[in-house]
Copies of this chain bind each other. A is one copy, B any other.
Amino acid sequence: MASLQAQEIRPYHHGDLSRALIQAGRRILEMGGPAALSLRAVAREAGVSPAAPYHHFKDKCELLEAIAKEGWMELTSAIAKARARAPDARAALTNIGVAYVCFARDNPALYRTMYDGACDRATMPDHAKKGDSGWRHVREALLEAGADPAEERDLELATIAAWCAAHGVAEMAGFKEFEPLKNALGGEEPFVRAVLEHVGIFAAMSRPKTPG
C-alpha cells in the first residue's frame, strides 16, 4: 500500500510541498482521470497528511487552479512552437489548431480540469489572454494570414471563432463514432486537420468580409 514515491524518510517539513502537491495531482489526473483527483488522494500521493495541503492552498479549488495554470502554460508553449514551425502564415493557424487539439488528446484529464475551472468562473484564465498567450498567438496568426488590422471587431470575432472551434474539436475528436473516418483519413492527426479545415476559419481566411 505504499505511495508511489516520497518513501525515503522525509523530514518533518517537506521543503516545497506546494510544488510536490501539484505534481502529485497531475500524476493522479493522468492515472485515474478527474474523478480520482481528491485532495486526500493528492496528499497521500505526496506522502503527507490530509490537512497539510491547507497550509499551501485555501481550497481544493485553489489546488486545481494551480494545476490548471501549469496546463495553460504548457498549452501556450505548444501553440507557440506550432506557430513557429509553420512554413507560412496561412499554415500557422491550422498548425496552431492541430497543436491545440493534440494537447487536449495527450492530456485529456488535465485539459478537462483546465476548462472546468474556466467554465466555473466564466472566464478565460489570465494566461490565455495576457502576455505570451495562446490567445495572442491566434490573433497574430490571423493578422499575418491577412486579416484586416483596421477591423478590430472582425479580428476579435475571428479569434473567438478559431478558439471556440479548436475547443469543440478538442473535446469531441476522441469520440468513438469518428474512428472509421479517422482510419480512412490515415490516423488521428490527419483527421483533426481535416475537421479543422472544414470548420472554415482555419482554411477560409481569405473569403469576402462578413456583412455587418
The residues of A with any CB-CB pair to B shorter than 8 Å are: 112, 115, 118-119, 122-124, 129, 153-154, 156-158, 160-161, 163-169, 171-178, 181, 184-185, 194-204, 207, 210, 212
Contacts and interface: CB of A to CB of B under 8 A. Distances in A.
A212 B194 contact: yes
Contact of A172 (B157, B164, B185, B196): B164
A166 B166 CA distance: 11
A96 to B, nearest CB: 14
Given A177-B129, A200-B199, A165 B163 contact: no
A181 B164 contact: no
Contacts of A175: 118, 122-124
A181 B154 CA distance: 10
Nearest to A165: B165
Contacts of A119: 112, 171
Q: Which 9 A-B pairs have the closest CB atoms?
A: A200-B200, A168-B168, A164-B168, A161-B198, A167-B168, A161-B199, A164-B169, A157-B198, A200-B201
Contacts of A174: 122
Q: Which of A122, A129, A153, A166 is the most central at the interface, judged by chain B CB atoms within 10 Å of its CB?
A: A122
A137 to B, nearest CB: 16
A91 B51 CA distance: 57
Q: Which of A156, A176, A198 has the most CB of B within 10 A?
A: A198
A164 B167 CA distance: 8
Contacts of A160: 172, 178, 181, 195, 198
Contact of A167 (B172, B196, B197, B204): B172
A68 B153 CA distance: 36
A123 B161 contact: no
